[in-house]
Amino acid sequence: MERITWDQYFMAQSHLLALRSTCTRLAVGATIVRDKRIIAGGYNGSIAGGAHCIDEGCYVIDGHCVRTIHAEMNAIIQCAKFGVPTEGAEMYVTHFPCLHCCKAIIQSGIRAVYYAQDYKNHPYARELFEQAKVRIEHVPFNKEILSLLQK
């Protein structure tokens, strides 16, 4: 068996995190990495102890579910909660970050974002990442890497 790359390893972690998502519209996972070490992970879902979309349905306002916290935000908040600095870290996320997550990523000091799938890629998010000198890179992911039955 051939070893997977670091990018594929961390992207696999994000896809595993997405399996914990409680969103019925889109399962997203995010992994924050510094020096080839995972420092935090998040998935989209409700606040701790709150009602979940999988149980009660989405709470949609203006086309957006307001019940969930996005995976990127959950990962950044986890770092804040436990006092783990994000300055200079990298983020691996299953889908291109929304505009709000883009701004949080920039403000948290994350220097690179690797995403597996395009998803409503907002041109202003790309512009903000470029202005902030945050590297963004599409890293296609083969979900078969997650198979435990590899030859």
Q: For each of the chain's 151 residues, which pLDDT tens digit applies?
A: 678 999 999 999 999 999 999 999 999 999 999 999 999 999 999 999 999 999 999 999 998 889 999 999 999 999 999 999 999 999 999 999 999 999 999 999 999 999 999 999 999 999 999 999 999 999 999 888 777 555 5
pLDDT at 145: 79
pLDDT at 125: 97
Nearest to 136 by CA among 117, 111, 119, 109: 111
Rg (CA), the chain: 15
pLDDT at 147: 76
For the sheet containing 90-95, what is the strand order?
Answer: 37-43, 29-34, 90-95, 112-117, 135-138
Contact call for residues 33 and 92 (beta carbons, < 8 A): yes
Q: How far apart are CA 11 and CA 93, in angstroms?
A: 7
State pTM to two decimals.
Answer: 0.94
Q: How far apart are CA 74 and CA 125, in angstroms?
A: 19
Can you tell me whether residue 9 is helix, strand or coil? helix
Can you tell me whether residue 64 is helix, strand or coil? strand
Active site residues: 72
pLDDT at 42: 98
Neighbours of 90 (CB within 10 A): 23
pLDDT at 106: 98
